[in-house]
């Protein structure tokens, strides 16, 4: 009998197409009801409920009850990182229509990877931070420099508060569409919150792509971030 963790159990959970679609739908960092997830993944509510129960039991999802409704979300940042990593190995479906082509382009350009910025814009933002020595690479993480601390504080981001959180501070996350790393962790999430709250980017309610606004273009241009 093996005493090692049973990877096959997790692999079997993710291997089901409907369950994989549910997990992908939750990669925007939001919480949804079983009914909402059923609609998004085009399966029945009964099927969705069955899959959700298995994903919760497998510790891939967490559930919270608010009034009459139960809301499901990814169980942890680590689950999101695992899904993003697996996506970098997965084949990209062939585009079948103009709408699908536009959706693909928007998701590849800018999207949320759970709670941080990903896609072309996310990778370019990370490269900007590296080029200016605001962060430096160290194994699977980034290290924030003194000049980087001053830079993020100039954006109104409280670094001391972020460092107290019980999660990775500045993690390297492999971007599945760019095949390069983008900034994740508490710092990546805080920067993305700043972009959204200050209207540099706007959420797309149909998928996890982000729209770069005119204000965002102006501010990224001032910083000399490649767009």
Question: pLDDT at position 1, please?
Answer: 52
Q: Which of 45, 75, 105 is the last residue of a domain?
A: 75
Rounded to the nearest angstrom, the gap between the alpha carbon of residue 161 and the centroid of all alpha carbons in its chain is 21
Q: Is residue 181 domain-shared with residue 213, that is, in the same domain?
A: yes
Per the domain annotation, does 80 fall within a domain? no
Q: Give the CATH number for residue 21.
A: 1.10.10.10
In a domain, 117, yes or no: yes
What range defines the domain where residue 145 resides? 87-223
Q: 130 in helix, strand or coil?
A: helix
Q: Which residue has the tokens 């805080």?
A: 190
51 and 92, same domain (yes or no): no
For residue 133, give the DSSP letter.
T
C-alpha span between 108 and 104 (Å, rounded) = 6
Residue-wise pLDDT for 41-83, tens only, equals 999 999 999 999 999 999 999 999 999 999 999 999 889 989 9
pLDDT at 5: 67
For the record, the structure tokens of 55 come out as 């994903």
CA–CA dist 127, 123 (Å, integer): 6
3-state SS, residue 198: coil
**How many domains does the chain divide into?**
2
Residues (pLDDT < 50) of the chain are: none
Instruction: Examine the domain organization and report whether 175 and 64 are in the same domain.
Output: no
């Amino acid at each position: 009998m093996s005493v090692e963790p049973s990877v096959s159990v997790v692999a079997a959970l993710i291997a089901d197409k409907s369950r994989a679609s549910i997990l992908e739908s939750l990669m925007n960092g939001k919480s949804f009801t079983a009914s909402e997830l059923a609609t998004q993944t085009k399966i029945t509510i009964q099927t969705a409920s069955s899959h959700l129960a298995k994903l919760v039991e497998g510790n891939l999802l967490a559930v919270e009850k608010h009034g009459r409704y139960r809301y499901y979300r990814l169980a942890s940042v680590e689950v999101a990182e695992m899904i993003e990593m697996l996506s970098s190995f997965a084949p990209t479906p062939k585009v079948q229509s103009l709408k699908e082509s536009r959706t693909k382009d928007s998701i590849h350009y800018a999207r949320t990877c759970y709670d941080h910025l990903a896609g072309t814009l996310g990778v370019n933002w990370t490269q900007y931070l590296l080029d200016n020595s605001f962060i430096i690479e160290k194994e699977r993480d980034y290290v924030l420099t003194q000049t980087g601390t001053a830079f993020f504080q100039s954006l109104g981001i409280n670094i001391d508060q972020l460092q107290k959180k019980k999660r990775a501070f500045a993690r390297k996350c492999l971007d599945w569409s760019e095949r390069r790393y983008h900034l994740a962790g508490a710092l990546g999430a805080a920067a993305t919150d700043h972009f959204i709250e200050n209207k540099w980017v706007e959420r797309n309610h149909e998928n996890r792509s982000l729209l770069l606004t005119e204000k965002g273009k102006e501010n990224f241009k001032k910083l000399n971030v490649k767009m």
